[in-house]
Amino acid sequence: MTVLLEWGAASDTGRLRDHNEDSVLAEPPVFVVADGMGGHAAGEVASALAVEAFRPLLGRRDLTVADVLGSVREANDSIRRAGDEDPSRAGMGTTLTGVALVRVAGDEHWLAFNVGDSRIYRLVDGRVVQISVDHSEIQELIDAGRLHPDEADRHPHRNVVTRSLGVLSAPEPDIWMFPPTPGERLLICSDGLSREITDDGISALLDQTRSSLEAAQTLVASAIAAGGRDNISVIVVDALADDQAEEGDTAPRGELW
């Protein structure tokens, strides 16, 4: 079976930052968000290098897990090389979070991967489930039972990411695999969305919007309306059921593959 995808992406600087350090690559079979960090405009350099490492994979229906993990390594290596060449960019880094369609024993599977605190969610039966686990000091405190999730937004260490690209020689991404299911909707986002909108709010917006592009644009607009304190980047990918692939409604449609 070959799955039919529809996708849409949106990214915005938000209200408080003066530039956008997030980078997005949404082109099948790869959908990635990178949230850069580092002074002197280095954050957006790191995040752009990270997503560009996936460009050789675009358009392919035969990707393997090794191809995707190779691009994660190349993303890390290219950021470190750029930091070595320009000392003002030394120490720049980025999160890297995404999904790619890979082939395993002839069947297409989603490979989800994460380094850092950008997130992957999956909408199932009208509710979102977070697939990725944040690499953050807050998540470690929650896992250790030392912090309640409701207190996370006020914690002084809420910005500390414990794993990122560009810092170590070979950071390990977390990975998950699952078969694409017609009718499912995936969301990949930077923390500029997940810190402004609760999971329930994300669920409702994903469930109420018809096309992937409309969903991505609505989520970004909602995060800006809620404060827009950080850059906001969103990719929404729909694995279409047969009756969803038909033309005919007037909502803005994402692209098809």
State which of residues 12, 35, 196, 214 lies at the interface with Ca ion (CB under 5 A). Answer: 35
118 or 211: CB nearest Ca ion: 118
Using the contact rule CB under 5 A, the part of the chain among 31-39, 41-49, 84-92, 101-109 near Ca ion is 31-39
Report the nearest approach of Ca ion to the CB of residue 149 (Å).
19
Report the nearest approach of Ca ion to the CB of residue 171 (Å).
18
* Helix orientation angle between 212-225 and 199-208, rounded to the nearest 10 degrees: 140
158 or 210: CB nearest Ca ion: 158
Using the contact rule CB under 5 A, the part of the chain among 30-38, 138-146, 151-159, 180-188 near Ca ion is 30-38
Using the contact rule CB under 5 A, the part of the chain among 25-33, 53-61, 184-192, 204-212 near Ca ion is 184-192
**DSSP for the chain, written as a single string:** ----EEEEEEEE-TTT-SS--EEEEEETTEEEEEEEE-TTTHHHHHHHHHHHTTGGGTT-S---HHHHHHHHHHHHHHHHHHHHH-GGGTT-EE-EEEEEEEEETTEEEEEEEEESS-EEEEEETTEEEE-S---BHHHHHHHTTSS-GGGGGG-TTTT-BS--BTTSSSPPPEEEEE---TT-EEEEE-HHHHTTS-HHHHHHHHHH--SHHHHHHHHHHHHHHTT--S-EEEEEEEE--GGGS-----SPP-EE-
Report the nearest approach of Ca ion to the CB of residue 93 (Å).
12
Residue 191 as a binder of Ca ion (CB under 5 A): the answer is: yes
70 or 227: CB nearest Ca ion: 227
14 or 180: CB nearest Ca ion: 14
State which of residues 12, 137, 184, 230 lies at the interface with Ca ion (CB under 5 A). Answer: 230
Using the contact rule CB under 5 A, the part of the chain among 33-41, 45-53, 76-84, 108-116 near Ca ion is 33-41
Report the nearest approach of Ca ion to the CB of residue 13 (Å).
11
Using the contact rule CB under 5 A, the part of the chain among 104-112, 169-177, 188-196, 203-211 near Ca ion is 188-196
Report the nearest approach of Ca ion to the CB of residue 230 (Å).
4
Contacts of 24 (CB under 8 A, 6+ apart): 9, 11, 32, 33, 34, 51, 233, 235
191 or 214: CB nearest Ca ion: 191
Q: Where does this chain bind Ca ion (CB under 5 A)?
A: 35, 190-191, 230
